[in-house]
Structure 1
Amino acid sequence: MAAAAVRKPLAGPPHSALDDLLDAAAAAWTARQFVAGHAAHIGTAAGHVRIDDAGYPMTIVV
């Protein structure tokens, strides 16, 4: 049933661009640091992380 919903591939380049690969590598590195407990949060004020209207933290994790 799911295969019937996808009738043709999405329009776009036939391969990933270098910036897409670098974004994926940065996301994987950050996730690994976060899970290991070594991540630092940038954008916090006195340890307080601002939360947006949808409930997501507004901080940069490195």
Structure 2
Amino acid sequence: MAALTQYVHREQRTVIPRQHSERITVDGHEHDVRLGVWVSNQMSRRELNEQQLAELGIDSA
């Protein structure tokens, strides 16, 4: 979620290309997150509950 929040804040949009990777810092260590793949998987697999989907801006229907 930190990578998604960072991306949306910077880009001012929620459409993320599937190939996009986002670099985040957690506890002083940098990590590359395959954000586009993660969001795509959440949309297709529906592994998150309705509240989490709403936070991502994904329709739960």
Same fold? TM cut 0.5:
no
TM-score normalised per structure 1: 0.26
Q: TM-score, normalised by structure 2?
A: 0.26
